[in-house]
Amino acid sequence: MNFNNGKIALILLLASEVFFLCSGKAVNINIAEVDHDRILTAADRYLNEKPITITSYPCERSAGGIHDFYSEGDYWWPNPDDPNGAYIRRDGISNPDNFIKHRQLMSRLSIQVPTLVAAYKLTHDKIYADKAVKHLQAWFVADETRMNPNLMYAQAIKGFVTGRGIGIIDTIHLVEVAQSITILENNQAIGSADLQAIKKWFSEYLDWIFTHEYGIAERDNGNNHSTCWALQVAEFAKLVDDQDKVTFCRNFYKTVLLPEQMAIDGSFPKELARTKPYCYSLFNLDAMVMICHILSTEEDNLWYFQLKDGRGMQRAVEFMFPYVRNKSNWPFPPDVMYFDLWPVRQPFLLLAGIAYNKSEYIDLWKTLNPDPDNEEIVRNYPIRQPILWMN
């Protein structure tokens, strides 16, 4: 949409100044000024694109129906010694022939809806909100096109399983969608019937990942999968006001994620042991930072929570920051794929920069690519619109 300079200036003045109090120090960063043109350019393009859901692309290999999300394990390949038999694992090497269309469509949703809602937050022009709602209706409300609220058939492996708990990581891309819904609700930019139906979907999905054996397996996986499970539960629980699950996630972060995943130097050994140690270290750190951002309160600030030996989020950020600033100093093996494409505009830099009053984190964040187009990078970069997370 086009706006004259005076209106843009007024919008920026009213909507973009974001202040935080961290350790008694005021931190100011104008996210809207940084992202204004980026958001509106993309949002105007998305106004012309129709919603597409998983029902448009059924897969004959799925054990589910047309409304069931389906994906296949990335690192599983045909066995050269038994081409028609069960697949074998090649960690870190993605099989390009596996079915990922549903994941791509969810990624599309996770890019377009937050961008449209970010444009609405910037301009208060309801054309953007209305378009975002069209996508939400298609995915979560309309009987013909909605997705069932479970992931029974995600990350299937030929010859082994029709679905796995590990597939729950695919819906990490709904976290920023959920935050977008909250903004629409707070601004009364979505109808009550649609909002009720969408919240019902998220409530049902939340209960499924919290109680189903797949969800429990994902929770207890032990690496970035556990972190991403907690991030999803935290954000979805906040959306539907399930305070018991919010409290569970806050305690889970303190008693499980930190003690079981973080080393004394702030690194994540389980991610460093993978064939993509750099990517997974960034990914896990971003997810943990988002948990701190979502769940921290004045009474219980996870940003400053530490175990008795000093392990905590600040140490994790301090460990990784030098290797984002200068990747050539990375002391571990390079990732087997896509190493040259990292880092991108990692959200941990911005949010930790605000939380710890570290301008060098924010300055570095501003220099990095906010809109990568490589599918592998997009898959591991689910938080792309920071303006949605600013008060």
Which H or E run contains 197? helix 192-211
83 Cβ partners below 8 Å, 6+ apart? none
pLDDT at 263 over 50: yes
* Domain boundaries along the sequence of the chain: 5-389
What counts of helices (H) and strands (E) characterise the chain? 16, 6
Tally of residues, the chain: 391
Average pLDDT score over residue span 269-289? 97
3-class secondary structure per residue, 315-349: HHHHHHHHHHHCHHHCCCCCCCCCHHHCCCCCHHH
| CB 15 within 8 Å of CB 32 | yes
Look at domain 5-389 and name its CATH class. mainly alpha
∠ CA 31-36-40 to the nearest 5 degrees? Answer: 140
pLDDT digits (tens, 9 = 90+) for 302-324: 999 999 999 999 999 999 999 99
Confidence class of residue 27 from pLDDT cuts 50, 70 and 90?
low
Average pLDDT score over residue span 119-139? 98
Q: What percent of the chain has pLDDT over 90?
A: 83
Task: Give this prediction's pTM.
Answer: 0.91
Which residue shows structure tokens 């990922």? 100
Confidence class of residue 22 from pLDDT cuts 50, 70 and 90?
very low
76: helix, coil or strand? strand
Which residue shows structure tokens 């980026």? 38
161: helix, coil or strand? strand
Give CA–CA dist 62/77, Å, rounded: 17
pLDDT at 7 over 50: no
Name the least confident of 105-114, 157-166, 203-212, 228-237: 157-166
Average pLDDT score over residue span 18-23? 41
Q: CA–CA distance from 12 to each of 17, 150, 217, 310 (Å)? A: 7, 40, 45, 40
